[in-house]
Amino acid sequence: MSAPQAAQSRSRIPKTIWDLIFTLAIPILILSPNLLGQGIGVSDLLGGGTAGNVRAYLIAALVPVVYVLADLFVNRNVSPVALIGGAGAILSGALAFWYVDGFWYAIKDSARSYLMGLLFLASAATRVPLFRVFLDAASLGEKPADRAVTEQALRDPQIHRGVVLGTVVFAAVDLLGGVVNSAVNYQRVTAKFGTDAFNAQVAEVNALMRVPSLVISLIGVGLAISLVQAAVKRRYGAGASLLEPSKLAEKMRERGELTA
């Protein structure tokens, strides 16, 4: 296969797959004390013992951080959503150097969810609830006329209240996800930091919690969007939908309220 063909083949791999490789598969392989069933691990290659396990833990924790930040800079993505993700990655990277186990490790592993939840909750009391930022980002790919309709609708006081409520619910679900993750970590990651067993248990929980964490996040997003959609329907009628700007524009025209 030629170089251009190889590059084209790589480009066909969905970003979701790359995300899973760098944020889940590689860290789990690095943490595994029995890499590919050969009875050795990356920690052995990094000096073995406590020092090798700590180095392996740090590398496993920092690989996703580097991946997220590299993706941010390479794609020059400076949207608020991307910047929030980048800030979360930096937090995760900084916390990797907090060497704890037991209860405090369970808290540390969920710190990103706790911080995000509290940030969203606090933003609900401001003029720009953070879920509004996500809705704005989702409309970036729309045609200018459709985006103008969406922005006008989101400025409506009644819909703004729906966005506030959606932000609160999203924050609550994120905090709940953090609590669930902490509980699972506290129950399963019981070994001492710096041991083979600790790294193996961390890898196990990372694999175990990926799908439940994703499901909890999707539930939070779904509930928040449904609350905003309910506010849109109450304001503009049963056929109105924030996700379908053409129908929303039609309803706004019927009411003589379309100014965009």
Residues 173 and 230 in one domain: yes
Residues 148 and 246 in one domain: yes
Residues 56 and 91 in one domain: yes
In this structure, is residue 201 part of a structural domain? no
**Residues near 10 by Cβ (< 8 Å), separated by ≥ 6?**
none
Which residue's structure tokens are 């999203």?
170
Residues 88 and 119 in one domain: no
> What b-and-e string marks burial along 137-168, b requiring 16 or more CB atoms within 10 Å of the CB?
eebeeeeeebbbbbebbbebeebbebbbbbbb
CA of residue 226 relative to chain centroid, distance = 19
In this structure, is residue 204 part of a structural domain? no
Residues 14 and 36 in one domain: yes
Nearest CA to 53 out of 205, 208, 188, 197 is that of 197
**Where a domain ends, among 64, 97, 130?**
97
In this structure, is residue 145 part of a structural domain? yes
Q: What is the per-residue pLDDT across 32-62, written as a single tens digit (0 to 9) for each?
A: 887 756 667 899 889 989 999 999 999 999 9
Residues 23 and 107 in one domain: no
Q: What is the per-residue pLDDT across 90-143, written as a single tens digit (0 to 9) for each?
A: 898 999 999 999 999 999 999 999 999 999 999 999 998 999 988 887 776 778
Q: Please provide the average confidence, as pLDDT, over all residues in the chain.
A: 87
Q: Which domain holds residue 115?
A: 100-190+209-260
Residues 132 and 260 in one domain: yes
Residues 19 and 90 in one domain: yes
3-state secondary structure of 241: coil
Residues 245 and 147 in one domain: yes
Record the pTM.
Answer: 0.85
In this structure, is residue 199 part of a structural domain? no
Residue 89 buriedness (CB in 10 A; 0-12 / 13-18 / 19+): buried
Residues 122 and 232 in one domain: yes
Residues 140 and 235 in one domain: yes
**Where a domain ends, among 79, 97, 115?**
97
**Where a domain ends, among 97, 125, 160?**
97
Residues 93 and 117 in one domain: no
Q: What is the mean pLDDT of residues 18-43?
A: 84
Which tokens is 120 given? Answer: 């969203």
d(CA 228, CA 170) in angstroms, rounded, equals 12
256 torsion bin: left (phi>0), alpha (psi -120 to 50), beta (else): left
Q: What is the per-residue pLDDT across 240-249, written as a single tens digit (0 to 9) for each?
A: 888 888 888 8
In this structure, is residue 115 part of a structural domain? yes
* Residue 23 DSSP code: I
In this structure, is residue 197 part of a structural domain? no
| 69 has a pLDDT exceeding 70 | yes
Which tokens is 232 given? Answer: 């849109």
Confidence of residue 85 (pLDDT cuts 50, 70, 90): confident
pLDDT for the residue numbered 84 = 79
Nearest CA to 57 out of 210, 204, 193 is that of 193
In this structure, is residue 195 part of a structural domain? no
| 179 has a pLDDT exceeding 60 | yes
In this structure, is residue 146 part of a structural domain? yes
d(CA 251, CA 260) in angstroms, rounded, equals 13
| 9 has a pLDDT exceeding 90 | no
pLDDT for the residue numbered 74 = 83
Confidence of residue 10 (pLDDT cuts 50, 70, 90): very low
Confidence of residue 252 (pLDDT cuts 50, 70, 90): confident
Total domains in the chain come to 2
Which tokens is 87 given? Answer: 């800030």
- Tell me the C-alpha to C-alpha distance, in Å, between residue 246 and each of 222, 257, 258: 22, 14, 12
Q: What is the per-residue pLDDT across 208-240, written as a single tens digit (0 to 9) for each?
A: 999 999 999 999 999 999 999 999 999 998 888
Which tokens is 5 given? Answer: 């063909």
